[in-house]
Structures are given as C-alpha cells and as structure tokens.
Structure 1
C-alpha cells in the first residue's frame, strides 16, 4: 500500500523581528530569521558539541577538538563554571585547564566556532549547579535581579569577558554566541538582564540563547534552544522509560520536553509543570534550534541508563526530520569532575540534589569519551554531519510535513522536509531496544511536490526493524542531472580531476535504487532501465568503496554501512579529500593524526596524494583499489594485554541508604566490605604510547580505582566497560600499582539498569582487566614535524 503526502513551498521567513543577529554589514554577518540562521547572506546549518575545557586535561584539548572537527562539528559549546574560576571571593583562576581564552583560541585554530555558556548557574551535574560554595552560603537571592546577587555576577562576568576580549565574531574571533544561565523557567526579566549586563561589560555577539525546555519563559532578547534525550538518569528508579524519550524518536514540530530538569524544578524550586498546561507547539517566530541532543547519557546511583550509539544517531536524525536547523549535542566529549576546595565538585545528595552521580567520571557515554576514546556514535553522527556540510544550506530552508508520527508501533513513522520542489524523505522503524519497533513491509511513499509526484521506491520494499532512513527527493547531482529519488542517503561529494564524485550510503537490508530524471547513459556498477521519463538504476555490484556508478557528468560511489562509518572528509596537503580509515583520525595542519587501540590500520584516500610518510609507525607501499589509494599503517606499540581475568571475589554490600530531596537511593560511602583487586601494571605498558587505559570488564555495583591513596576513577556499573586513564599516574603506578575496590551487585537494592543488561548475578564478577595501549601515528605528505609541534 502506497502512503501519500502533499507538501507545499514554505512561506518566506520573517526578518528583523528578533533582537539577535548582527547589523547588516560585513561579509560574514550572522542573521537569525524566523525559520533559519544565515551567515554571509546564505542559510547556515550549525552543528555544535558540548566540550568542557575545565573537565578535560589541557594537553588533550587539541586531540579532542581535532576529533570533534573531524566528526563534522562546526562549533563547540562550553560551560564557564563559576565555582572553578572563583573558588574564593575575589580570587579568580584562569590557569592550566581553566584557561578559557586558550581553549577558545585552540578551537578557532581548528576551524571551530565557540558558544560560551556563561551561567552564572550552569547545572552540568556540578556541585550547586556551578555556584561556588561561598555564594551559596551568602544571604542573597540567587538567579534573580537581587542587586547583591547581580553585583557578584557582574564581577564574575567582567573577569570572564576580559578573558574573551578580541575573540568575538565581530572582532574576527571564533565566538559566535553565548547562552545565558540554564534551565531557568520563570524569570524572563532576569535572563534579559543578564544579557544586558554581559553587553554592558563589552561582550558583543550575534547569537544570544537560553534553554527553552520545560515550558520556560524566554524573553524576546534570547533565542530559545531545546533538548532531547534517549533516556534520563534524573528520572525515578521506578520509571522504565521516560515518556518524553519515546516522543523524541517520532517526527513532530513540538520542540519542548518537560522531563529534562524536572527533578531539579521540583526539588530545588518547588515547580511542577502540568503537561496539559504548557503549549508544546511550534513557535513560528523563531527557528527550531537545539543545544542538548543527548550525545549519550550520564548515570546516577539510583538510575543508570544504557544509551546505545544507535539511539543517539536515530534521535538526532529524528530531530532533523522534525525541522531542526541547529544540531547541538550534550555531551559531545566526556570529561572528569573537578576537585575543588570542598572535594569533588559533582552534584550529590550531600549538596541538596536529588541525584548522586559519580565523584570522578563525567564520561556521559559521549561520542568522545572521558579519556579520548572514540565511540561508534562519533562515526554514526559524522555521516549525518557530512550530509549537513554538503546540503545543510538547502535543508535549513526546508519545512517539515509529517506523514506518520503517532505512538502506534504498527504505523510507519515518516516525514518530508521540503522547499516545495525538492527535499528529503525521513522514515524510521527505530526505538531503543527496551521498546523496539517492528519492521515495516511493503513500504512505498508518494510525495506530491511542485512539478509532480515522486514515488520512492518504484517497487515496495521492507524497511527492517531498527532503521532510520533519509532519502533524497530531486537532489541535484550535476548540471542537468537530477536524482529524482534514491533509497540511499546523501553523504558528501568531492572533486576529482575536475569532476564531482558524489558519495551515497546504502542501508543494511534495503536494496539500493537510484532514479534519475530523464534518460541517461549509465556505466560502472550501475544497471539501468529506462522507463517513461526516468532512468532507474540498480546496483550490479555490492555497495562498498569500489561500487562506482558512472554517469556522463558525474560519478556516484555507493558505500555500504561499514564503509559509511569509516568515511571522513578532511583537508590533507592543501585540499579536501575523502578518507576511509579503520581507526579514528583527524586532520591537523594538512596532516592526518591516527589514534589507534590496535596495531594495524588501513587508510585510503580519494583523490590520493602522490605519497604518504608516517611518523610514529610504519607504512606499506600504496595499493590502488578502484578510485581509492590505500596504505596499511603499522603501529606495533598499540594493542591490548589482559592483566587479570576470571575473578569472582567475595564482597559484602553496605546497607542501602536514601537521601536528597526526592528520597532516592544514595551512593554508598561504606567500602569496608568491598572486594579488593590489586592490579600490577608493568612499567613498559605505560611507556612509548600516546596514552594507556585500564579497561575493566566486570559486573557489580560501584567500583573505585586508586593509585596509592589517590582516587583516580569511579564507576557505577551499568553495562559498559570501565576505562581508567593510567597515563597521568605512570610514575606512581610503578610504585603502587592500581587498587580496585568493588562493591557487589544486589538486585534487591532496587537500582535501575537497562533491561538488556539487567539479568546479572549478585556479587562481583571480573571477566578481565586489560591494559589498552593507544598509539598515535601521523601521516604526512612532506618530511619533518608538523608546523604546530
């Protein structure tokens, strides 16, 4: 059965009605319309990822930002935690990894814009939401226009803005925006005053934002930005899956979410929001911008979500199908909770919060982990970002029409974003494993556009369970060549020998069909049938790097899913090149920086440079495979070694405790009954590599890692391996080794973990403790070290 949808050209955007954006001057002027953001006079599709400089070691900033840029981010957002910078009244710190200016400059050097989240209140799972203890202890009405409070904020803002002088967009710098406070729902006049205060102190920016979720009252002087998470640690342990999380996997113009931050609204502010009382509808005055699409999810002691990489990617794509014109992820790179004058600076029951979170780790299961680990969703999201880089300007102007988006699991969920004549068709059978959707059989969709109907595919297909697709409609391939439809995704394009190469990605389980307007000669891996006014192409070879469809004016490479996850578009030796790599990498000063956990890596480029040289590894002679030239890279220093395995030590659980304003389970403080596992780490495994991780594969409740008396990592078990970075502790580890203190799992305690990992035995079970040596190899087209070394 064919489903049908008629779309019409969207109305022109309103302009000049918002107090954000820049005066009409300058080649790079930023303007916010009612439907999208423009930069330099053309639609702009920002992609932002949250990275907290104060939670990442300074010597890792370059790597983390490099991977973020290679992952397709155009900008990074970062909290300025007041408690970190003014630990005592009037005593400010901007040194080491607190050097905000240096972080912004490094981001700019890597081609990234910056959005500064100024606070003063941040949340971010920080102690007192980022407020210093001395502020909390004062008799001032925080987060209001109380003059005493504003006086303290002014001092903090003044010092912060002084760090940013000369780095604003209008000054030629990378800072394009600022967020004011966070999750403030009922003080619009205060939010407006904070922006005014920042401007009075000299910060002039085109974009001023505030979080809009929870039915927040955002003043006209700030752009509301939204969130969407696949799950939430902030819910109760009785909640199997938050209602709004399910909603985010459907297509809808509704932007709001009443669950994010609801625990703090209730516990700290006494505010509860009736879902029926809040108009969760599209706001036609401002574009649909996000700042907190869940890049993963943190864990609390009482509730420990296991958000899968595919959850992250499917949710992000659902927001694109729903009309987002700005993708913002929280977190994009994990970090480590700071230690301040009062100890660890995480939120906790002890500081009046409803949740106990780990003292040390803030990994967030992000695309880039706490210690620089590159996760699968870094690759899944990069494929989406490649497409946004290629066609985001057009997508930003396209409005969404929903074809099917109900909660009924038997109904096909689909939507179209279109400018009236062309567009993209979104369809999904994806929800997380705890509430998986079935396959959809006999799927065929007809979209009526200006100029006629487009039916895709030409014959019905089965869309397998757990798939989210985006199919192009009337996509321009080359002058005079229009891809009417395809059952493959648009990824990117590159010029090779003065000819465009367009890269598409196939979906597992869905046959690839390409339909061109008009009659065209087709060669290579394409098998063509001419029918009416169209050329219908199927593949005569499996999708993959060598699957090349030849047309007169362009070439199309159709990648399989595995190759799609390995694809980058990076500047190498002065020009953009496609890169396929079996290990994570990024570009720096025209070179490729490969970071690998294994000794063998394959890298292929298109177009290929004349030659490559390796620093930190060995390089094979190149080989040509279809249009690609590939090299095998040997990094013998990298790899994994098992130090301990098969342990089932006895342990006694402490008595469960509850605390905090919502009386939730509290993290144990009594480790007297913990199992103790001592791990001797040979000195040679820490030497000669970029970094060394201890990877603990275990089941239990809470783990802590010590070097001597120093707590270096902690872990609330939730189904993932536990990584501990040994690199900063190398000399101490040589003397003390690593001591793991592990509390046993006890199902009767009532801690919530994901159903997919819930069936574990009580006690402590250590499958293995591995040491992972991460190597770094630089690939260059010239001799000598990098210009930035």
Structure 2
C-alpha cells in the first residue's frame, strides 16, 4: 500500500453555531445546558452524555435500585425510559402511578445513583408493546392517532398532564435529573404533530433543556426538536429470508451518515403505509445539529420468524464506530432488559393479534442487553464500560473534536480508520471488526500518519499487524500531566486514578497488538517500562506483562497498562466518599459510599486502588487484604452464590408440533399457541438451595423452538430458542417453587418451518434437546471501609 493512503490532514474545527436552536436552558445558570451545532455544553464546557434505556414499568420495583446501580457502575451518565400510555391509563380516565408504575419514584432513585433522566413521553412508543403502547380503549375509538386531530390531541393532553404532574420538581431547571424529553417515536411524516406535542407539554408546565424526536428512516423532524438516531447490528424486524439487514454493515464503518432506513421499516410500511426510497433520502451530515444517538443496539430482541444473535463484541464495535464517526451522545436501546406487562386486556407485547408484523415473546423483553431481564450482568456491560470510563474522563475534549474519515469504505481489504481531532491532538480509530455474517480479515503492517496544524504523528513507530476482529482507539498527543505528553500509544485510554504516590493514567492493551508508548521529549522511564530516546521523543517498551502490576514510572506521573481481561474487570466507584479504581470478578456498584457486590460464584477477588486499611462485609466473608503491586486485594467468599446442575442430558419427546401459521400485515410466521403436544420437563428445586440467595435463576441450555415455564398454573417465562441460554427467575415464586417445582413446555425445533436463526447455531437436530438446567444463585454483599459507618 502506498504510504500516503494512510496519511490524513486534520485541522482545528471552527466555532460551532449557537443560539439557532430552540433548545437549551433559559435563563442560563451555573449548570446550564446549551446545544450547539456540534455538541452539547453543560456548565460552560462540552459534555458527552451516555444514556441507556431502562423501562421502570417492565421491572419489579424492588429491583430498580440494583439495575440503576449497575447502570451507573457501567459508566452511564443518564437513563432513558418510555412512559407507556397503556400501563398508566388502562381504562379511560383511570390513571395508575403506583407500584412499578411510579415514574416519579424511579426518577428520584436514578438521581440517587447519580444518573440524569431522559423521559420518552410517547404518546406512541413502539418498544415492542401492544399497539405501540396505546391503550386498547384508544385504539377502539378509531381516531386518526399521531396527528393533530382535535379529539386525539384532547386525550393526549390529559395523558401528558398526568405525566407532567409526576415530573414536578424533578426537571433540570428545578435542580432535578430530567435533562430531556422525547416526543412520540419513529414518526416520519408528521412534523407539525411532533411540534404540537412539545407545545402541549410546555403549556402543561414541562420545562426541559433538550427536546428530541427520532430522526431515522428519513424522518421529517421539526426545527423545535433535536433529531436523534439509531444503529443496530441486526434486526428481528427484517424478513426470515434476510441473511443480514442491508444497512447493518454501514454501522461498523466510520461515516458522517447518521440515518438508517431499515430500523422500524416494517412498521412504517405495514402500519403507516410509508415506503422510503433509499435513493431519495439524503443520508448525510447535518451541520445545524450535533450527532446524537438514542438507540445504539445494546443487544437485540427476537421475533418468532427471525431471531438474531447479536454478540457482545458486535455491540462494543458498533458503539465505538459511532464515537469515531462523530457521535457526541451515546444512547443505548436496550441497556437493561425487562418483562412484558400483562394488562386488563391480556398480554401487552407486540403481536400479529394486534395487527403488527411481528410476534415477539409473551413475557421476556430481555433484549440480550448488557443488563439482562433479571439483572444478569453480560460481557458487553464490561466491554462498554471501558468506553464509558474513557468518555467520562475525556468526553469534554472528545465532544468538541470533529471526525475525519481516512478509510471507511465497504471494501473488506481496506483498513477502516478515522481520526477525531481538535487540530492539535486527538484519537485514531481503526477497525477490522464486522459481525460473523460478513467478517473482515486482519490488516498487516498498519501504520498511520496524522498531520496536525503544527506537527505530524505516525503511529505506531513500527508497523503492526492488526488482527481480525479488532476495534481500537489510540490517543495522539494526549496530555498525561502538565509536563508529560503521550505522543501516541497503541493502547486505549480508560481513566485516571490517584493513590498516595500520586496520579495514574490507566490504559488498556488490545488483544494481539503490542503496546508501544511514545512520549514527547527525553524523559526518564522506570517501573514496568524502558525508554529509548529517538528524534526528540522517548519510545517506551514494556518489560513486564500488561496487567494490574504493569506500572510505568514517569516524571511526576505513572501509567498503568492493563491487559484486556483486567480492563473488563475495572470500575471507578465511590467508597467512603472517595473514588477508587476497583478490579472485581463479580458485578459491583456503589451505593451510599459502600460497594454492593452480586456474585454468582462462591468465591471471587476484589482489589482497590487506593487501598483502605480494612473492609467490612455484610453478606460475605473476607480474607485479610494482601498487597498486589499498587493494589490491595481481598478474597470474597459468598456462601449463598454458586451453580448447581439439577438436570442434564434430557431429550424429551413432543407428541405433536403445531403446523406453521403465518399472519400479520406482512404474512410472517406466527408464534405457536397450541402446546398440547409439547414435550414436558419437570424440575424440582430443593428449598435449601433457594434459602439465602439474593436471586435464584434456572438457566436452561437447550435447543428447540418455543419454550414456556410454569410455576403451578402461572406462566412465569417464555423463550424463542435462538442460541442463547434461557434464564427463568424463581425469586418471586420461591415458596411455590420449593413446593411444586417448575414445569417446562417445550415445542420441537423443525428446520423446515423456516424460522431464521443465526448460521452459527442453525445446524441443530430437529426435536427438543435439553443439555442442562442449572440453578444459578446470585448473592449480595455490602462492603464498607471500616470506621465509615
């Protein structure tokens, strides 16, 4: 390759436009939020929010705090949530805000966990809800909904008035956590209606700095609302004949294009009668508004006819590609899964029975999210946290930087790369990652030169091979301290920490990429690094393996270089009023100055930097602390955590399987409703295994078509098999489970039916095969620093 092919010139961006958008705080205060043409400002400096979708009405109220705690520990700065009309006004004029419908309490709890809130007010939400969240009584009136029809707007006003009343005192202007409100969802051709919804909310007293509407699908968004965008690695809403949605690959490349015409396209066509010509929609940047996302796929739901298998690495790479493309607000859908509601008219999930194109599961809305339906912590919670720690640390710099694409084409043989820069410093993004549907090869001899306004940086100094499946971001001319500049590094910035010896910059190595650090000037290097002065720089090589003890000493500052596995274990959490770097094998979050740990194994380790003289545990046993490089480390024994196999190697026989049926407006495969011939598996759960556990899950590893789980006659879970294990939460029914056990009804897999599942799991035999059913016990331990309570 010609050397100039990987050379790019970046310049300082001009000043953003201000005052042209009808959003932002007025009057301004010390924590004022302003939206410019390129980024959002808060308290006078660029701000990089990180938002995750969590639906309070789809979670048990007693689990809110745990899920919000994990979300905060995962690096989110805010949560978004739908206000589902059908849940709050199940009958005309009868509103409910009690139990897990207490929106006000949920928002207050989010604030306790340090999270801002985005309220997605509807009135139509979609969210895979029955009638998109509309109450049945509204649908039965056959009004021209989602328009400015006076009768419809009168009903919306009543619903909005009730919602706004729940938000009094909680908005940003009132010192509360609510920073934004979204009007409707996925409305493409009614800009006047979207604008009217904001007017109604304001007339009812709602004041928020940011008003949004979803902008994908070529939507017509009025000037009074900020368009926000989506990006998914796959979609259950496509047809069963589709190997991979047409737009999906674009989200793994660096590009100024924000739109996606495939997200929700089935509903657009089936319900609204709107078809979008991909050649007629300008999929380009918009210089008037910043690049904001609200639905980066945190996973993916499944429908009966099409069941994607989005992986943690898919989620990680897509999110990082959007930062490299210029996103200034990362928003995930979903960040935490939940359970579909049951209302007075029955199940409240999207289905063919309610005129929608897709049949989705009756109960589960797990979405394969970073936090699962039952607060399970998934690998992408950790992978995304790496990015979020960096964005929290450096977001004020990144938000103001513009993105310049060096290589972003669909050509699999071309290195995909971009630079995000302020003209003098920045970050190099490079990727060889694309999902298994169309994987990319590795790239040999990777080396890039970036010409800044006043200098050029070549990284790395010696070309390296970037392995297949890599997605990296490397700092360029990064200020480590007032006197030390990291000219380049082949490791990712994570965060900073402090102990008695001073400041630490924390980096993470990437799998298969040797770590090189290049510093401006001739500097003394010690600890885990050795330096060679070359061309007025110091090139640092590591003499110790990357990991928790790999600390490079520099004048007045140190650099800790973690290996990838340790980076996945890293948190920044408050303990006794001070932020600590935390390495934990078990999921952990901070609450009221204590660490709350949720292990699913009987033993794990936890390390702190800086250390504390003594930790005290409630709900676990702690070893004495031991020094581990700069860390203090404890072994934690959790007596109520662990896994027990209850059943394995079973092949129950189904006496009959229902014939395939198609339905809905797009004639797709419908979920079976006849389980009379299903294979039945009964699992007894000893009561002593349920005692003392914070949460108890049955984890089913199986192959088949559709499964349902019952406790007595109560349906407690269902599952469309798609290659993942199936978790059934026993905690709410522990007493009944101890007496009656759990009954599974399992329909057999029949490949001839034509259901789409991922090719990596498709080659399974017909029938029902249960590899194992395990009881997973999750504990809860509260760790405090001795003397702080």
Name the TM-score class by shorter chain: over 0.9
CA distances 1:128-152 after superposition (whole Å, capped 9, x unpaired): 0000000000032100000000000
CA distances 1:45-74 after superposition (whole Å, capped 9, x unpaired): 000000000000000000000000000000
5 Å-filtered alignment, 1:155-554, equals 155-497=158-500, 499-554=502-557
Distance 2:699 2:771 in 1: 11
5 Å-filtered alignment, 1:643-658, equals 643-651=646-654, 652-658=656-662
5 Å-filtered alignment, 1:377-776, equals 377-497=380-500, 499-651=502-654, 652-776=656-780
1:25 aligns with 2:37: no
Distance 2:190 2:320 in 1: 32
Distance 1:234 1:128 in 2: 16
Would you say the 8 A contact 2:119–2:182 is kept in 1?
yes
CA distances 1:698-739 after superposition (whole Å, capped 9, x unpaired): 000000000111100000000000000000011221232100
SS at match of 2:118: strand
Larger deviation, residues 645-654 vs 289-298: 645-654
Would you say the 8 A contact 2:291–2:328 is kept in 1?
yes
Distance 2:699 2:688 in 1: 17
Would you say the 8 A contact 1:573–1:609 is kept in 2?
no
Would you say the 8 A contact 1:360–1:714 is kept in 2?
yes
CA distances 1:461-494 after superposition (whole Å, capped 9, x unpaired): 0000000000000000011211000000000001
Cα deviation, residue 635, structure 1? 0.3
5 Å-filtered alignment, 1:25-64, equals 25-64=28-67
User: Of 766, 777, 786, which residue of structure 2 is paired with 1:782?
Assistant: 786
Distance 2:45 2:765 in 1: 58
Gaps of 5+ in 2: none
Cα deviation, residue 498, structure 1? 6.6
Cα deviation, residue 24, structure 1? 4.6
CA distances 1:191-229 after superposition (whole Å, capped 9, x unpaired): 000000000001000010000000000000000000000
5 Å-filtered alignment, 1:133-144, equals 133-144=136-147
Distance 1:428 1:85 in 2: 45
Would you say the 8 A contact 1:434–1:756 is kept in 2?
no
Cα deviation, residue 782, structure 1? 3.4
Distance 2:576 2:612 in 1: 8
Cα deviation, residue 497, structure 1? 2.5
State the aligned residue count: 785
Distance 1:359 1:649 in 2: 23
Q: What is the TM-score when the length of structure 1 is the normalising length? A: 0.99
Distance 1:400 1:24 in 2: 32
Distance 1:390 1:7 in 2: 23
Larger deviation, residues 24-33 vs 89-98: 24-33
CA distances 1:149-203 after superposition (whole Å, capped 9, x unpaired): 0000000000011011110100011101100000000000000000000000010
Distance 1:42 1:648 in 2: 61
Distance 1:209 1:39 in 2: 17
Q: CA RMSD for the aligned pairs?
A: 0.8
Cα deviation, residue 108, structure 1? 0.6
Q: Runs (4+) of structure 1 moved beyond 6 Å?
A: none
CA distances 1:88-111 after superposition (whole Å, capped 9, x unpaired): 000000010000000000001111
SS at match of 1:596: coil
